[in-house]
């Protein structure tokens, strides 16, 4: 479904991604982990068109999307959440989601677009707060909205960037349940960036590990988490939970 | 005294609407694209000259010339964005600062071209209704002021409807509130930015014609207008259409009423003292939450 070949991204003298290959098959849940600055978010930005890679190609369902602009990538069916949530602060929850329904799916404005937006809010459990301005939401609510916004372009592939960060253990548990629920309902393929390793152990079938822009391991979570290079990469950074 | 007060309140409000329409486009580009288009007032001045020459050479009413000016300036706005701003945006580290210097340069070039073409002489617009007035009781309303007021209010009303009640306006607001979120929702940033520039410069055109109905102008007047624009945008809040209207009216009233009590040259002093107070008390504008 999504395939990266020799993806390389440099910022001046720093190589943020170094010849990274990856492949995600339809229906999979894949985790993307690595210490801070390892290139996880850069890879997301390259896939979703915020950065153009210097070398390599990104293929989505066989189409070359390397360097396509973000709104084109979104319309093609790749939804994305940001680590720092990106809501429209002065709009209501319903309006926030409706933007993507209108522009990402190309529905015309009317009762149908509002109904679609409402469905997505119901799905993430914010249906009763549709008329609340988003600036009044808590962080956990904003993260739910971020997921609904990502779903609003009707993606087949959803990229989640640290959706669990900043949530308490109870909220993390709810968020995991929500993600599984959404995946079942919509039949999505997921690529998840995460620092909370425990969360990934329970959710992912396969994990890709980046360190200093290079892929150092790939495989089932139990196997990857015991990989000597992965342990070494995480030991210095104090981020293993 | 009471008569003078009422009279200057009325004319102050009429002038205030002109300040609002002159400024609202500047506010919009600043809000949506983080660019301070210093040349905004120079475009307004260009429109004032176009209206002036159409009326003095071809005896066409300057208000009618807007039929040409508005679409022409829309294209001009899109062109400025595509040719100047976009290239700067790709290379600049600080877009707000770089674009401010760039558009300041553009304003200086435009001023000088206008000076070479049309001499530094001050111009006074003469229309068929200049010098005429409508009387409401003892209160005189200059026809030019009334026409400029109607034109200004109409423009602002249309702009408000566009921003708040159309699909494209929704995209404009989305980009303004969160460019990243908008792109992720499938909004084409390039298109929204083009439309914003087109509309902003088109309203500058209307603003220039409206101002020329009230004030004399010469090739350097744009810097005087720019001062009013900054006052309106800071008072009304960046990107807010209603804020610009409210701020324009307040500033018009201040100009009108303080003119009754103090010499006209001191009026700007009052305005800027008020601005300093405002920046201390409500730095993000009157209507911002």
How do residues B34-44 score in pLDDT, each as one tens digit?
A: 899 999 999 99
Residue A240 has pLDDT above 50, yes or no: no
What average pLDDT score do residues B241-259 get?
Answer: 92
In this structure, chain B runs to a length of 289
Q: What is the 3-state secondary structure (H, E, C) of chain B?
A: CHHHHHHHHHHHHHHHHHHHHHHHHHHHHHHHHCCCCCCHHHHHHHHHHHHHHHHHHHCCCHHHHHHHHHHHHHHHHHHHHHHHHHHHHHHCCCHHHHHHHHHHHHHHHHHHHHHHHHCCCCECCCCCCCCCEEEECCEEEEHHHHHHHHHHHHHHHHHHHHHHHCHHHHHHHHHHHCHHHHHHCCCCHHHHHHHHHHHHHHHHHHHHHHHHHHCCECCCHHHHHHHHHHHHHHHHCCCCHHHHHHHHHHHHHHHHHHHHHCCHHHHHHHHHHHHHHHHHHCCCCCCCC
**Distance (Å) from the alpha carbon of B17 to chain A's nearest alpha carbon:** 26
In a domain, A143, yes or no: no
Note whether A70 contacts B188, CB cutoff 8 Å: no
Residue B259 has pLDDT above 90, yes or no: no
Residue B45 has pLDDT above 60, yes or no: yes
What average pLDDT score do residues A138-163 get?
Answer: 93
**pLDDT for the residue B289:** 53
What average pLDDT score do residues B108-132 get?
Answer: 93
In a domain, A199, yes or no: yes
A-chain residue closest to B170, CA distance:
A99
Bridge partners, A10 (sequence order) = A15
CATH number at residue A80: 3.40.50.300
ipTM, two decimals = 0.86
How do residues B146-179 score in pLDDT, each as one tens digit?
A: 999 999 999 999 999 999 999 999 999 999 999 9
Percent of chain B with pLDDT over 90: 69
In a domain, A99, yes or no: no
Note whether B167 contacts A102, CB cutoff 8 Å: yes
B-chain residue closest to A95, CA distance:
B170
B-chain residue closest to A99, CA distance:
B185
**Chain B partners within 8 Å of A86 (Cβ):** 178, 180-181, 184
Nearest neighbour of A75 by CB, restricted to B171, B178, B186? B186
The alpha carbons of chain A give a radius of gyration, in whole angstroms, of 18
**pLDDT for the residue A19:** 94
**pLDDT for the residue A196:** 66
- In angstroms, what CA-CA distances link B121 with B107, B110, B208, B212, B218? 18, 16, 17, 14, 6
Buried b (16+ CB within 10 A) or exposed e, A207-220: bbbbbbbebbbbee
Note whether A103 contacts B186, CB cutoff 8 Å: yes
How do residues A77-123 score in pLDDT, each as one tens digit?
A: 999 999 888 999 999 999 999 999 999 888 888 888 999 999 999 99
**pLDDT for the residue B276:** 87
**Chain B partners within 8 Å of A89 (Cβ):** 177-178
Residue B25's pLDDT band, with cuts at 50, 70 and 90, is very high
Residue B269 has pLDDT above 80, yes or no: yes
Note whether A149 contacts B182, CB cutoff 8 Å: no
**Chain B partners within 8 Å of A87 (Cβ):** 178, 181
Note whether B184 contacts A109, CB cutoff 8 Å: no
Number of domains in chain A: 1
**Distance (Å) from the alpha carbon of B241 to chain A's nearest alpha carbon:** 15
Query: Are A67 and A56 in contact, with CB atoms under 8 Å apart?
Result: no
B-chain residue closest to A153, CA distance:
B185
What single-letter DSSP state applies at residue A134?
Answer: G
**pLDDT for the residue B288:** 65
A-chain residue closest to B165, CA distance:
A109
**pLDDT for the residue A241:** 45
Note whether A79 contacts B171, CB cutoff 8 Å: no
Residue B200's pLDDT band, with cuts at 50, 70 and 90, is very high
**Chain B partners within 8 Å of A69 (Cβ):** 183, 188-190
**Chain B partners within 8 Å of A80 (Cβ):** 184
How do residues A42-82 score in pLDDT, each as one tens digit?
A: 999 999 999 999 999 999 999 999 999 999 999 999 999 99
Structural domain range at position A40: 2-91+156-235
Top residue of B168, B184, B188 to mutate, by most chain A CBs within 10 Å, is B184
Beta-carbon pairs below 8 A across chains A and B:
79
Residue A238 has pLDDT above 60, yes or no: no
The chain-wide mean pLDDT, for chain B, equals 92
- In angstroms, what CA-CA distances link A165 with A172, A175, A196? 8, 11, 8
Residue B260's pLDDT band, with cuts at 50, 70 and 90, is confident
What average pLDDT score do residues B109-118 get?
Answer: 96
In a domain, A12, yes or no: yes
């Amino acid at each position: 479904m999504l395939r990266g070949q020799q993806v390389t991204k440099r910022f001046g003298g720093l190589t943020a991604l170094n010849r990274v290959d990856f492949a995600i098959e339809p229906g999979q849940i894949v985790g993307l982990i690595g210490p801070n600055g390892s290139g996880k978010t850069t890879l997301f930005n390259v896939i979703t068109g915020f950065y153009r890679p210097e070398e390599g190609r990104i293929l989505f369902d066989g189409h070359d999307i390397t360097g396509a602009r973000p709104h084109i990538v979104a319309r093609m069916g790749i939804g994305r959440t940001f680590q720092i949530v990106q809501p429209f602060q002065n709009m209501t929850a319903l309006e926030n989601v409706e933007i993507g329904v209108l522009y990402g799916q190309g529905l015309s404005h009317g009762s149908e677009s509002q109904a679609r937006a409402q469905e997505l809010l119901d799905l993430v459990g914010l249906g009763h707060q549709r008329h609340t301005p988003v600036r009044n939401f808590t962080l956990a609510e904003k993260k739910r909205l971020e997921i609904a916004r990502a779903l609003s372009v009707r993606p087949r592939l959803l990229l989640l960037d640290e959706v669990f960060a900043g949530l308490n253990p109870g909220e993390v548990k709810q968020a995991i349940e929500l993600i599984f629920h959404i995946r079942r309902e919509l039949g999505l393929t997921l690529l998840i960036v995460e620092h909370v390793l425990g969360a990934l152990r329970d959710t992912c079938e396969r994990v890709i590990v980046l360190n200093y822009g290079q892929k150092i391991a790939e495989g089932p979570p139990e196997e990857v988490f015991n990989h000597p290079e992965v342990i070494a990469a995480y030991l210095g950074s104090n981020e293993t939970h | 005294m009471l008569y003078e007060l009422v009279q200057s309140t009325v004319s102050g409000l009429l002038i205030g609407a002109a300040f609002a329409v002159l400024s609202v486009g500047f506010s919009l580009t600043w809000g949506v694209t983080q660019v301070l288009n210093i040349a905004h007032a120079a475009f307004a001045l260009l429109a004032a000259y176009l209206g002036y020459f159409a009326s003095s050479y071809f005896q066409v009413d300057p208000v009618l010339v807007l039929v040409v000016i508005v679409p022409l300036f829309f294209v001009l706005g899109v062109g400025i964005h595509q040719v100047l701003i976009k290239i700067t945006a790709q290379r600049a580290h600080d877009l707000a600062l770089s674009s401010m210097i760039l558009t300041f340069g553009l304003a200086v070039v435009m001023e000088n071209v206008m000076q070479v073409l049309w001499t530094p002489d001050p111009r006074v617009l003469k229309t068929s209704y200049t010098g005429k007035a409508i009387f409401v009781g003892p209160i005189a309303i200059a026809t030019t002021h009334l026409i400029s007021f109607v034109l200004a209010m109409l423009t602002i009303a249309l702009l408000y409807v566009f921003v708040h009640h159309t699909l494209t306006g929704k995209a404009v607001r989305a980009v303004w509130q969160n460019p990243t979120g908008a792109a992720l929702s499938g909004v084409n940033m390039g298109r929204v930015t083009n439309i914003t520039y087109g509309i902003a410069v088109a309203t500058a055109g209307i603003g220039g014609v409206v101002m020329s109905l009230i004030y004399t102008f010469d090739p350097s007047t744009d810097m005087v207008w720019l001062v009013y624009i900054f006052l309106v945008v800071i008072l009304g809040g960046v990107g807010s259409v209603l804020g610009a209207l409210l701020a324009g009216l307040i500033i018009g009233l201040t100009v009108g009423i303080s003119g009754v009590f103090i010499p006209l040259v001191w009026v700007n002093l009052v305005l800027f003292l008020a601005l300093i107070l405002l920046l201390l008390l409500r730095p993000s504008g009157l209507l911002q939450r």
